[in-house]
Amino acid sequence: MNPVFLQNALFGGIPREELHGLDLAIEECHFGPDEVIFEEGDEGEHVYLVAEGSVRISKKGRLGRQETLTIQSEGGFFGEMALFDHQLRSARATALEPCILGRMGRDGLDRFLSHSPEAALHFIRTFSKQLRSASSLFIKELQNAERLSLVGTMMSSIVHDFR
């Protein structure tokens, strides 16, 4: 296993020696630019750890275009939601540049989280931070959409007044 995976934010605060003792079964994967890692609606069997490169997490928007939810770069992780709620993937993940990712299955994640209360607590905090960040971005996008809608309404009114 590539030791850089153990430096991921997912494992923050857990001594490396302890992590080496766990059978996390992290598989190294390589993706090229614009290569889709998984699609919204796919089954989720793995969490991904970013060792090199960056990954765009996006969701299909109102006009059918992919809207960015977040970008995960070196040290980040993604794909964990489907492992917890046993639902289909809620978003698409696409490599933005050449990427080296670690792919860890449900069993490896379960072993890590059951290793110690500190590991589980750290994961919850990190996951909450990512969720809060995605929520903030979503709210900003909604506010921008409302502003654009208001500008459109005002422009229609002005054009109508000139007729």
Has residue 160 got a pLDDT over 60?
Answer: no
Q: Tell me the per-residue pLDDT of 99-135, one tens digit each, with 9 for 90 and over.
A: 999 999 988 888 888 887 888 888 888 878 877 776 7
> Within 10 A of 104 (CB to CB), how many other CB atoms are there?
26
Two tokens at 71?
A: 């970008």
According to the CATH classification, is domain 3-162 in 3.40.605.10? no
Query: In the predicted model, is pLDDT for residue 74 greater than 60?
Result: yes
pLDDT at 16: 78
pTM of the full predicted structure? 0.79
Output 57 or 84, whichever has higher pLDDT: 57
| pLDDT tens profile 25-36 | 899 999 999 999
